[in-house]
Structure 1
Amino acid sequence: MSSHLPKELLSSLEGLPGYDAAAFEAVHTAGPAPTSIRINPAKPPAVLPENAVPVPWSSSGYYLASRPSFTLDPLFHAGTYYVQEASSMFLEQALRQTTDLTRSLRVLDCCAAPGGKSTLLRSLLSPESLLVSNEVIRNRVSVLQENMIKWGAPGTVVTNNDPRDFQRLENYFDVIVVDAPCSGSGLFRREPDAVNEWSPGNVQLCWQRQQRILADCWPALRREGILIYSTCAYSREEDEDILDWLMMEFDATSCSLQLDPEWNIVETRSKKGGYGYRFYPHRLKGEGLFIAALRKNDGNSFAPPRKLNQPEKPSKKELETIHQWIQPASSLALFIHQEQVHALPESRLVDIPILQSACYLKEAGITLGQLSAKDFIPHHHLAMSTMAHPGIPALSLSREQALQYLRKEDLHPGTTHRGWVLVRYADHNLGWIKVLPQRSNNYYPKEWRILKRE
């Protein structure tokens, strides 16, 4: 494959810290990229895949010896792990080393689809923290929403907004993560077709787009807040040059991060002295990545809009019904939006009207279900969370039955219970069925159903 790497790219990398032309070209002919997953600490699988090896800079990441069919693993659909490239997991170090994660924080993942960094952030933040996972492209926000629902954590809001919309929330966020759209040269091993899309002109377009996104969301970061910027590109224009632009354009201080020498991550310094961190596939077990963290030095405290529409609260009678479906002694606040009941950490309910004043909310907290005159219709999100009441009837499925369910095929559960039943695989929820006298209805979301066969 080395002969197909763009010559303009190879020549542009000469002189960059950590770049070795021969080793770089050789690794692109050395077979497939490594496969890695990150475990969901809220609902981990009972057993790790055989021969799994920890990703050294991650508390929950593992390399796999080979790439299985994730589509045919029910535990993947249960949200017990996320398939994520190992270098991207270094976001954990950037966050831990710059931010007090014991605090209740407001965090924006600005370019969040498909959800790798958002699921990582959600696992690191305190339960009282708010994560806003935003995706500007409409046809990509649905996969982000799906992955955040499967991750199952409250305190997350999924939005579909242009970054400039967050300017209305001036000084609101404690942390903003921008994994910016880029030329993609760091993914050539994993996505060979990306080679044909790379060009110096595309690098320039990405450089301009990156500046716009950063300029648009910067006002939403509070004083002393942290911006974490990353790309999966090697080009200096998209990496160190953007770091310099941020330091010149805004009142920001670059943050130095501590590295273990055995990680083989390269610390690079921009022309203005900013600290960046480069990942090369010939130096470590991962793909190409650049990441940098900056601290904002100016700004004021957040001033909420004067007039806000407060969320509708369930009635006392409705609460009695809802509490039959969720864990007892839950410290979550409940509200109703478009006939669906949602749950958020108590301290985060105040954020919903603030976010609604500036953003289009696709998902807010855990969607529990719909109240009707005769019945409570549980939402798939409730099944994917860890909030379902332990008294709800549940049915354990074999792997074959689980795959039937995930294909949205009919199940013959052989249970005497009538009504809503949680279906589970290896002690993890997959979703709902409703058992009727002569049949059962499969309520797995039709847009998520798997089509692949063994």
Structure 2
Amino acid sequence: MPPLLPNQLLFSLEGLPGFDAAAFAAVHASGAAPTSIRINPAKPPATPPGKITPIPWSTFGYYLDQRPSFTLDPHFHAGTYYVQEASSMFLEQALRQTIDLSKPQKVLDCCAAPGGKSTLIQSLLSPDSLLVSNEVIKSRVSILQENMIKWGAANTVVTNNDPRDFQRLENYFDIIVVDAPCSGSGLFRREPDAIDEWSAANVGLCWQRQQRILADCWPALRQDGILIYSTCSYSREEDEDILDWLMTEFDAASCRLDLQPGWNIVETTGKKGGDGYRFYPHRLEGEGFFIAAVRKQDGATFSTPRRLNQPEKPGKKEQEMIRSWISPANPSGFFVHQEQIHALPESRLTDLAILQSTLYLKEAGITLGQAAAKDFIPHHHLAMSPMVDTGVPSLSVDREQALQYLRKEELHPETIHRGWVLVQYEGRNLGWIKTLPQRANNYYPKEWRILKRE
């Protein structure tokens, strides 16, 4: 029997646009929840089992008619798709309708873990844009880093900073996305255990935390820049009230978004005239969600410091060594950090210097590998990237072998090549092995290995 929804929550939602208490309770009692994924347009698409249906407000999102074991799907580990809740994919519309995605943009995803919205944003940006994906909690930044590596894009940086640290980058970003920590009532259907953790007191704490995050990162947004705020909460305090607070405390103008009638998204207006958008599971195929966009009317443009410590460039020998590993169709700027060679769009190397001078960086661009005395040691990040050259030796494996590899078990490949080999499943890269005369060493990251069996 599904757990009962908190009466205090139900009472607090009465009168909100689009709320229907009976339908709301019924959809939560049904126990049914849609499963959705978003494909990675930079990689060969994988066809999930069963029937798929496009998510109407998403270019790359699909509903599945059944929920497979994603853990046991090698395509998932290859980064060909991301499992994401459908309502939150509406972020795409907020971006497309407020900015010109064909132009280079500098974007901050302030509360990015586990990486759903960051991977979505990256898929929409131009190759010469820059995405900074930040997570303040150290225990969560590792999963963000893993998901961004699997996504395989070169124009991303992962940081582990408090939102207040971004005040040092005044007027730097064109777009800031704040998917704020919240009381989580919008996820009750997907995560029933969250019901026991909900309380009005926690809503109040989240309301205060959301204000602090927004106040801390607001200075980093340039004049005419866009801030997109979202939560997975139904509570007015965390949604319309925060939008009112933004428009009261800062010189922020609301951005109204166009909705299609068939989407069944509810438009709501705050007391200050700000436009917000509510998602209810009894009205559409998705979970509870709120989103709003505002434009910054004050501020200025960012001034690049005159003196910056530019990233160290790899030497001529190192550059020659990596050329055979990288597709010539992927021109990049290269830099060295802690003996590892990285690739980032050439136009963003100065931005890297700016970020390094102000933030703690966990990952920048694509880690290609290390140039040793007689050999190049490729990094797993290179295997996950479209940058890897098609001429690199590869080994095609079946599903059972792919799962063995992903469990970091020993493989016995039938290949005459000796040295580094790219393991592929149905044309999708999984990682590296190094073949020796009597064995093959498995270089899949041990902290990512899957433990689940069939």
Scaled to the shorter chain, the TM-score interval is over 0.9
Give 1:289's aligned residue. 289
Question: What is the Cα deviation at residue 241 of structure 1?
Answer: 0.2
The Cα shift of 1:304 comes to 2.5
For 1:99 and 1:335, locate their aligned partners in 2 and report how far apart those are by CA, in whole Å: 30
The equivalent of 2:157 in structure 1 is 157
- 2: distance between equivalents of 1:162 and 1:229? 17
Q: Aligned to 1:4, what secondary structure does the other structure show? A: coil
Q: Using the alignment, how far apart are the partners of 2:336 and 2:177 within structure 1?
A: 29
| Distance of 2:409 and 2:178 partners within structure 1 | 40
For residues 18-417 of structure 1, the aligned pairs below 5 Å read 18-417=18-417
Asked whether the 8 Å contact 1:392–1:422 carries over to 2, the reply is: yes
Question: 1:3–1:76: structure 2 CA closer, same or farther, 3 Å change rule?
Answer: closer
Partner amino acid, structure 2, of 1:127: P
Counterpart of 1:30, as a letter, is S
Measured in 2, the distance between the counterparts of 1:392 and 1:91 equals 37
Q: 1:84-137 deviations in whole A, cap 9, x for unaligned? A: 000000000000000100000000000000000000000000010000000000
Distance in 2, Cα, partners of 1:101 & 1:302: 20
Question: What's the CA shift for 1:305?
Answer: 3.0
What is the one-letter code of the residue matched to 1:321? M
Mapped contact 1:107–1:174 kept (Cα < 8 A) = yes
What is the CA–CA distance in structure 2 between the aligned matches of 1:48 and 1:443, rounded to whole Å? 27
CA contact (8 A) 2:153 2:366 kept: yes
SS in 2 for 1:414: coil
Counterpart code for 2:107: V
User: Residue type of the partner of 2:115?
Assistant: G
The residue identity in structure 2 corresponding to 1:320 is E
What whole-Å deviation, never above 9, does each CA across 1:260-311 have from its counterpart, x for those lacking one?
Answer: 0100000000011100000000000000000000000011111223432110
Residue 8 of structure 1 corresponds to 8
C-alpha distance 415-4 of structure 1, shift in aligned 2 (>3 A): same
Query: Aligned partners of 1:80, 1:113: CA distance in 2, in Å?
Result: 19
Shift of 1:2: 6.8
Aligned partner of residue 29 in structure 2, secondary structure: coil
Extract unaligned runs of 5+ from structure 1: none
Which whole-Å CA distance do the structure 1 matches of 2:3 and 2:75 have between them?
40
| Distance (Å, rounded) in 2 between the aligned partners of 1:3 and 1:83 | 25
Q: Distance in 1 between matches of 2:389 and 2:130?
A: 24
Secondary structure (helix, strand or coil) at the match of 2:146 reads helix
Mapped to 1, the partners of 2:441 and 2:3 lie a distance apart of 54
User: Aligned equivalents of 2:329 and 2:398: distance in 1?
Assistant: 32
CA distance in 1, matches of 2:287, 2:66: 16
Partner of 1:438: 438
Cα distance in 2 for partners of 1:229, 1:330 equals 34
Q: In the alignment, residue 352 of structure 1 is paired with which amino acid?
A: L
Q: Deviations over 1:12-37 (max 9, x none)?
A: 00000000000000000112311000
Offset of residue 329 of structure 1: 4.5
Measure the CA separation in 2 of the matches of 1:410 and 1:227.
Answer: 48
SS in structure 1 at match of 2:59:
coil
Distance 1:33 1:356 in 2: 42
Q: CA deviation at 1:434?
A: 0.1
Distance 1:329 1:57 in 2: 32
Q: CA deviation at 1:317?
A: 1.4
User: Which residue of 2 is the match for residue 449 of structure 1?
Assistant: 449
Q: Work out the CA distance in 2 between the residues paired with 1:292 and 1:25.
A: 25
User: How far apart are the structure 2 equivalents of 1:422 and 1:403?
Assistant: 15
Query: What is the TM-score when the length of structure 2 is the normalising length?
Result: 0.99
For structure 1, which segment, 393-402 or 30-39, has the greater mean C-alpha deviation from structure 2 after superposition? 30-39
Q: Distance in 1 between matches of 2:31 and 2:259?
A: 28
Contact 1:2 1:26 in 2 (8 A): no
Deviation at 1:316, TM superposition (A): 1.2
Q: Which amino acid is 1:222 matched to?
A: R
What is the aligned residue count? Answer: 454
Q: CA RMSD in A?
A: 0.9
Pair 437,3 (structure 1): closer, same or farther in 2 beyond 3 Å: closer
Bigger mean CA offset, 271-280 vs 2-11: 2-11
* Segment drifting more, 359-368 vs 313-322: 313-322
Cα deviation code 1:387-413 (max 9, x no counterpart) = 111111000000000000000000000
Which sections of structure 2, spanning at least 5 residues, go unmatched?
none
Counterpart AA for 1:274: G
Give CA-to-partner distance per residue, 1:343-376, whole Å, 9 cap, x none: 0111111111100111100000000001111211
2:91 maps to a residue whose letter is L
Q: Could you give the per-residue CA deviations for residues 406-426 of structure 1, whole angstroms, max 9, x where no partner exists?
A: 000000001110000000001
Task: Tell whether the 8 Å contact from 1:44 to 1:81 is kept in structure 2 after alignment.
Answer: no
Which of 19-28 and 369-378 deviates more? 369-378
